[in-house]
Amino acid sequence: MRTNETIECLQKDIVIPAIVQQKADLAFAQIRNEHVNTYRESGGKIRRKAAWVSAAAAALMLGTMSVFAAAYFPWGQGMTEQLHATETQKQFLEETQIATPVNIVTTENDITITALHTITDGRFARLAFKVEGYELDEGIEPWFEQVVVTFDDPHLHDCLLGMHFFDGFSLDSHSLTYADGTPIKERSDGSLIPRYIADDGSMEYDMLLMTDADSFIGKSIHVEFHNLGIYDSAEHQFIPDIEGVWTFDFSLDGSDQTMSYEMSEVLEGSGATVTHAEISPISLSVIYEMPRQMIEREVVEENGEISKITTTAEAPQIIGVRLKDGTLLTEIVSGGRYGYCGFLNDTYQAAFSTNHIIDPEQVDALLFIKSYPEGNEPLTEENLYIVPLH
C-alpha cells in the first residue's frame, strides 16, 4: 500500500517503535552486560537518543547462496554492524540490487568525504559515507553542525529518521567488544569508550531515511555536510573545528522486491486485526483495522514530574518474523513509524526498517508483541502473537 493514501498514516515523530524502547529501558540498567548501543541524531537540532536492540536470534544464513560467497564492493563497517550482515547476506543484497555502490568523493579543507553505498528497498534507504583526514582523540564524538538532505521529487520530504557517526561498538549481543573484535575500553566511571576512528584513520557516517508518499528508487538525492567538529556532551553543544560544505548528488538505486500478503488475522484481546503485510529484505510493513480506544498514560516531563495524558491505544507492534525452519527472529525492527491513517478512520499502519537482513521467501509468520517477560529474559512464543503467512 504505497499510494497517497498512506501519506497521513504514519506519525512523523517516531524514530523507533515503543516496544523496542520499552525493552531497551528494561535493559538499560544492565547496559554494560547487554551491550545496547545508542546513538544521537546529528544536525542543527539535538534529538533524543534512539536505542537499537540487537536480535536474540542468530544471524540468518541465506540458504540459496554459498556460505563462502563474498560481497562485490566494500561496505562500511557501521552499516555492516547495523544490519548484522554476513558476507553472504551482503552479496544477496547486491545481487538483488538493493545494495548499490556510489563512490562519489568530495574534499574541502583537507577533509575528504566519500559516499560509499546505499541500501534501498523503496520505503527505506540507508546511506553510508566515509570521512577521512580528521584527527580525533579517543572517545571524543565527531559532529557535523548541519546535515541537509533534499530530493528533486516534491513528494519526498521529512524523510530523515536518523544519522550518526558509527561509534565502533559491536551490536552482537553476545560479546562486549568493538566491531573489530577487540575488548571495549572503559572510563574511570565505568562508562564505555566509543571508537569513532577506524584502524585506517577514517570515520563512517550513516543515515536512515524513510518515505510514506512514494518510492525512493530512482530518485535524485542531494546531501550537504556543513562544518565538522565535535559534540560536547557536558554542555550539549557543537564545537566547530573545520569549516566547509561537502555536497553530493546521486540517484538512489535499489529494488522494491517485497512479498505482499492479504489476511484477516485477529490479535486476540487487543482489538486489532492484521489485514495486510509487506516483507522486504530490510523492512517490515503491516496494516491493521483497529477501532480507536482512548486511554490515559503517565509521562515524565523534562523537569522529572509525572503527568497524565489521554491518547489512543496502540496496536500490538510487529517485532520480527518466524522462518520456515522454526527460527524466531525477534526484536529486529529499528527505525520506522506507526499510527492511525488520519483522524477519522480505524486503519492503523506500522512500517519499520530491520536490523537484520531477511530472505522474504524463508518467512512463514509475522511476530507481534503480546507481553514482556520478567526482567531481561528473552522473548518466547508466550510473549508473541504469531501470524502465519499463507
pLDDT (tens digit, 9 = 90+) per residue, 140-190? 999 999 999 999 988 888 889 999 999 999 887 666 899 888 999 999 898
Please give the model's pTM, rounded to 2 decimal places.
0.80
What is the distance between the alpha carbons of residues 88 and 71, in angstroms, rounded to a whole number? Answer: 7
CA diameter of the chain = 60
pLDDT (tens digit, 9 = 90+) per residue, 48-85? 223 333 333 333 333 333 344 556 888 999 999 999 99
pLDDT at res. 384: 96
pLDDT (tens digit, 9 = 90+) per residue, 190-206? 899 999 999 999 999 99
DSSP-assigned letters across all residues of 64-86:
TS-TT---SSPPPHHHHHHTT--
What is the distance between the alpha carbons of residues 159 and 10, in angstroms, rounded to a whole number? Answer: 12
Closest CA to 76 of 160, 152, 168: 168
What is the distance between the alpha carbons of residues 156 and 158, in angstroms, rounded to a whole number? Answer: 7
- The torsion angles phi and psi of 172, rounded to 5 degrees, stand at -75, 120
Angle at 28 between CA 25 and CA 31, to 5 degrees: 155
pLDDT (tens digit, 9 = 90+) per residue, 209-265? 999 878 999 999 999 999 999 999 888 899 999 999 999 999 999 998 899 999 999
pLDDT at res. 45: 29
- Average pLDDT, integer, range 354-374: 95
pLDDT at res. 112: 98
What is the distance between the alpha carbons of residues 263 and 323, in angstroms, rounded to a whole number? Answer: 19
Give percent of the chain above pLDDT 90.
62
Say which residues have a Cβ less than 8 Å from residue 33's Cβ, sequence separation at least 6: 176
Cβ(299)–Cβ(317) below 8 Å: no
